[in-house]
Every structure is written in structure tokens, then in C-alpha cells.
Amino acid sequence: MGASDRHRARHLRQLATLLRMGVPLVQALAWLERGPFAVRERLQWSQVRQGVEQGLPLSRALQLHAQLTTVEAQWLVAGELSGQLDDTLERLGRSQDARDAWRRRLRQAAAYPLMVLAVAVGVSAWVLVAVVPTFEGLFAGMNSALPPLTQRVLDLSQTLRAQPALFLACLASVALVGGLLLRHPRGRWGLQQLALRLPGVRQWIALHQVGLWSRSLGALLQSGMGIDTALTATAGLLSHPQYRWVCGEMAIQMRQGLTLSACLQRQATLFPPLAIELCAVGEQSGTLPLVLENLAQALEASLDEQVQQCTRWIEPALLLWVGVVVSVLVLALYLPLFEMGHAL
């Protein structure tokens, strides 16, 4: 979610507040059109207002002019039909904010390790290109054979200096292949399926996807949408293909008469026991939307705690790795000098 998406979430909440205060829809849209926003955003709200004045429902006007997705438009349609448009706009804005907050936390958690890796690669390359050549002349005057570690470092330095384009091409190839895998649907699907098989990453994916699933499904149910239709719409909001497919299958199973908790029990490998138990309680008590919202908050808090804990472990581990790499390079350069000192 970019800056424009964050602004849109804030605008939706402001629109919900205006409608809750009794301001007519067209006047509320006109206020957003005159608001202290960027020119492009004011133009979008102007087009939305004109569409509503021409007879379009708000959901359709937002989809056409404010880049609202099909699933989000369905969300608003349910609110329009149930007479809960202001509440639906508020929930939609909060849902977008929650997704954006998770993405920002993930980027912040990954920024430091990536920076440390970049520094490690840069320092290692500088040692190999600038420092190692100063020792080559000294080693050339030694009659004894160099230690294997020192010889490998010298060979690597000569290769890097003789063919710097090859080193850069390797880095560019890795970046290109990674970018293609992430952009191509099959490549992205393969990486997502691989991540789902990794023990630690699997738990993170489950917490994130089930948290997003429960928050979206609860908000759709509160908007008056039927649970089978809400499950189908929620599938479009999930980012992992396995969870999207399972969510669609649960919608089919519920049309056949199964309860939500029974559907979740069939997918116990993807949904944590807490989700299954709370959904069963919510169905029995008739408070499923509220239970789903509380479940989303619990899962998001657990995921945030695990990400922070992992970050606290990764940072010293990466620093230790950088220290080991630099120490090995320094040891390789000074090992022949130590051996020569012992020989004397």
C-alpha cells in the first residue's frame, strides 16, 4: 500500500464521519473535493461526486475513479444494501490501515538485516580489491608455499580485480532472477508454496493470513453480507494462493450446510487451533463478527511480537557473521606472516 492508498483509507474514514454526522453524501464528497489534499486526490473525489450525482452508487463511483478493488466495492455494496454505509466505510478504512501497518512493520524489520548484508558485501569487496593487493608483493618474496586459506583469498582477489564485470554480472543476475520470480505468477506461486513448507515462516504466514482473513470476514459480516458471499469476497483479499483457494472451498462447503468451525477443522494445518475454537464459540453465541474481530487483533499482536523477537535475534547474528567474514580475511592475510615469524 503506497502513500495514496494510505490517504484513501484516511479519506474513507473522514467520509464515514461526515455521513455519521448526518451530512448528505454529495455534500460530504464535495467537502473531500475541497479538502487540503493533493491535486490528484481532489480530482478523484470530484469525479466520484460527479458519478454519484449522475446516479451511480458510491461503491461503483469509487471503483471507477478512486481505484477501489472489486472486493472492496463488494464490501461497500453490502453496506449500501444494509443501510450501514458509514460503518462499512469506517471498517474498510481500518482494514486498509491494518494491512498498511503490517507491511510497514515488515519493511522496517527487514531494513536493518539487508543494510548489514550490504555493508558486509561492501567491506569484503573493499578488502579483496584494495587491501589484499598490498600483501601480494610481500608474499611474492617469500620462498615458502602460502597456506591454503591465504592462497584462496589471493586467487579470489585476482579474479575479482581481473573480471569485475563478472562479479557485477553475477549480482545483477541474482537480482534479475529474483525479480522475475516475484513478478511472474508461477514463480511467485512457487516461492509462496516453498515458504509455506518452512517451519518458522509457515507460522508467520498462518498468523498473517488468518489475521487478515478474520478481520475482513468479520467486517463483511458486520456490513450485512451473507457468510458464503463474504468468504468468497475475503478470498480476494488474501495474498497467499493456498489460503485463497481454501477460503473459496469453505464458501462452497458452507453452501452445502457445514458450519464455519467445521470447515476450519478440515483445514487444521492452515488455521491455528485458536481460530477454530473461537469461531465455534462465535457461531454458538451468535457473535461471530465480534469474535472474528477480536481474533484478528490477537493474531496480529502475536505476529508483531514474533517479528520483533526474530529481529532481535537476527541483528546480533548478522553482526557476528560480518565479524567472522572480516576476521577470516584478515587471518588469511596475516597467517603467512605468523608462520614466517615462527620459522625465524
Q: In CATH, what number is assigned to the domain containing residue 219?
A: 1.20.81.30
Task: Looking at the structure, tell me whether residues 51 and 154 fall in a common domain.
Answer: no
Task: Looking at the structure, tell me whether residues 24 and 130 fall in a common domain.
Answer: no
Domain span including residue 268: 98-344
Answer yes or no: is 233 within a domain: yes
Task: Looking at the structure, tell me whether residues 49 and 134 fall in a common domain.
Answer: no
213-242 confidence digits (pLDDT tens): 998 888 888 877 888 888 888 888 787 888
Task: Looking at the structure, tell me whether residues 228 and 343 fall in a common domain.
Answer: yes
Answer yes or no: is 82 within a domain: no
Cα separation, 152 vs 155, whole angstroms: 5
Alpha helix locations (H) across the chain?
A: 3-20, 25-33, 39-53, 58-65, 70-82, 85-126, 132-140, 148-162, 164-183, 185-197, 199-222, 227-235, 241-255, 260-266, 273-285, 288-343
**pTM listed for this prediction:** 0.69
pLDDT for the residue numbered 188: 65
The contacts of residue 59 (CB under 8 Å, 6+ apart) are: 68, 73, 74, 75, 76, 77, 80
Answer yes or no: is 328 within a domain: yes
Task: Looking at the structure, tell me whether residues 35 and 158 fall in a common domain.
Answer: no
- What does the DSSP 8-state code read for residue 144? S
> Which of 20, 52, 68 lies at the terminal end of a domain, its last residue?
68
Task: Looking at the structure, tell me whether residues 151 and 295 fall in a common domain.
Answer: yes
User: What is the count of structural domains for the chain?
Assistant: 2
In this predicted structure, the answer to whether residue 2 has a pLDDT above a threshold of 60 is no
In this predicted structure, the answer to whether residue 72 has a pLDDT above a threshold of 80 is no
pLDDT band at 341 (very low <50, low <70, confident <90, very high): low
